[in-house]
Structure formats: structure tokens, C-alpha cells
Amino acid sequence: MSGPQHLLSIADLGPDGIAEVLRVAEAFAEVERRSMPKVPTLRGKVVATLFFEESTRTRLSFETAAKRLSADVLSLTVANSSVKKGESLRDTVETVEAMGIDALIIRHASSGAPHRVARWATRARVINAGDGWHEHPTQALLDCFTVRQVLAERKGAAPEELGIDCFEGLRVLIVGDIRHSRVARSEVLAYSALGARVTLAAPGSLLPPSLEGWPVEVAADFDTALAGADVVSLLRLQSERGSGSFVPSLREYTAGWGLTSRRVDLLGEDAIVTHPGPMVRGVEIASDVADLPRTVVTQQVTNGVAVRMAILFLLLGGEWSGEGWHG
């Protein structure tokens, strides 16, 4: 399979591409379980993380993934960089690329920034680690990976045996600040590409202004939607993007749209709850709900490393036809 050069959007992958990522990630999940979880696969490659917006888990996850593949990792913290002196994004990217970097992992507050960077880049592969309200493709991939892992575990099967058929007809309910969420956009694209039925549940003010062309339904009633869901994906209120002014108060938001201890009982016995983190306990999820076995946040974080290893490997090792390393 010849895949995309960059990972900017889930739309770059399509169902076959997603299936490929999940399959390769399964092999890396095995590497993660070893007592010595490191392989020499990307020795000699240099991966740079350019985070123009704060993040803990995504940056750490990408850096762990790159190190477990034996790539060298550089990280640009905007606070300590020339960006603070007024350097433009284009100049920053050109400077970093001139150092011979093989992959740029970029997070930016502006939607579309990684797309611009990919057009400027001459040899580096660009990975979108979250751009504005637009997309966060690796998060959606690791959510799919985690859901398949849970489904496989219940069947007593290996996840790779399930392929992507297990997503066919799966009822996924995405709840919360959809308007400002890049995770929601990537999840809608990923789950629907795999054949799942996606429903959105949010107050009207937190839905996007238009849902035209989105392969989704909007839940008429949150409690009914919860009862029919196989997967509930909770999102955080993006206070840094001004979500606070879209809801009357946090308490009202929780009362209307939080996964409270009462609502969790409406869920089917096998329903899975995911959250991209960071969770705000007591707002979108009650603290005791966050600690239930059906809430798979910790698995999501663990799987994030394997999925990002797969992305780095597919972009830097799987298809590229330049000079490789010689063992």
C-alpha cells in the first residue's frame, strides 16, 4: 500500500489506511509490552516536535514513540525559541528543516497550520498533533485502536483478528464541546470511515454552526442516546478557546451534558467511555465515573505511544525510498 506522505487529516488515510495503522500499531503494542521496549527501526532519523500550543501527553507520547524507535528527538518549546523574537512560522520551519530533520510533529492554535508547513517542507514528513479547532488525527486513531482492543478482549480474540469489521454499525456517541474540538472532527472522520454510526450530543451553542456534509446525527435526547451507545467519547470544555461563554455555567453544563453517576447507569452493560484527556473531573465526567473499568483513559494513553510509533514508522520507514540505515 502506498500511503500518504504526511499525516494532516484522517481524510488522508481512508479506511484502508486506518486499518494499516491499526495493524502496524498492534505490532508496536507488543514492543511496548517487552521488558526492553525499544527497536532500532528509525536509527539515524531525526524527529522534531514543534509545539506552538501547550500539551503534556501528546508531546510526551510522540517523543516516547520516537525514542522507542531509536530516532533522535528534538523539541522546540516556543517559549524559548526565536518565535518569541518575531520569527514567522515559515522561517521557523525552514530553519528546522535546514538542519536535516526527517519529521516535524506540529501543534498549532491555528487550524490548517500543519497543511501550510507540509507545503513548505521539502523533505520532512509533517504530522499534525492538533491544529486549532480542525483535527487531531493521532488521537482519533488511538481511540479506534483502544476501542478495538476492548472489543477483542471481550471476545477473547487478538485485536488484529477483528480487522476493522468490528466498527461496522458500532454506535459512537460524541459528547460535549464539539464546536471547539479537533478531536471530535478527527473522530467523526475516523469512526465513520470505518463504518460506525456517529451521533453528536451537545448543547446547541457547542455544536458547529453547520453540520452540512458531516456523516453524523444529532441526538434529540441525551439520556436516550446514552442508552443506545456502544462507545461514548467525552470531550473537555475548551475553556482556552472561550467555551466558557458558550454555556451559562459549568454547573449547568454538568447537569445537562456531564456523564454523571446517574447517567452512567443508563449506559448499556458493555458501553465503553473514552476521553482524550486532560479530564476535568466534576465537569464533563463525574470523578467516580472516571474510575470505572469501562472508562479506558489509561489504556488510551498507553496505546497512544504504539499508534504514534506506527505513524512514524509508516511515514519514515515503510515507504520512503531514499537512503536507509544499514545494519
| Set of cell numbers at residue 65 | 514513540
Binding status of residue 60 toward other proteins by CB under 8 A: no
Binding status of residue 158 toward other proteins by CB under 8 A: yes
Distance CA 255, CA 250 (A): 9
Q: Counting Cβ atoms within 10 Å, is residue 86 exposed (0-12), middle (13-18) or buried (19+)?
A: exposed
Q: Which of 40, 100, 215, 268 binds other proteins (CB under 8 A)?
A: 40
Distance CA 1, CA 258 (A): 42
Does the CA dihedral 238-300-11-73 come out positive or negative?
positive
Distance CA 307, CA 180 (A): 24
Binding status of residue 31 toward other proteins by CB under 8 A: yes
Binding mask 168-207 for other proteins (x = CB under 8 A): ----------------------------------------
Q: Please say which residue, 248 or 324, places its beta carbon nearer to other proteins.
A: 324
Q: Fill in the amino acid letter for 7.
A: L
Distance CA 227, CA 219 (A): 12
- Hey, which residues does 65 pair with through a beta bridge? none
Binding status of residue 26 toward other proteins by CB under 8 A: yes
> Which span (24-32, 126-134, 256-264, 299-307) binds other proteins, by CB under 8 A?
24-32
| Set of cell numbers at residue 281 | 473531573
Binding mask 95-134 for other proteins (x = CB under 8 A): ----------------------------------------
Binding status of residue 265 toward other proteins by CB under 8 A: no
> Which span (26-34, 137-145, 182-190, 212-220) binds other proteins, by CB under 8 A?
26-34
> Contact positions toward other proteins, by CB under 8 A?
23-24, 26-27, 29-31, 34-36, 38-42, 69, 158, 160, 313, 316-327
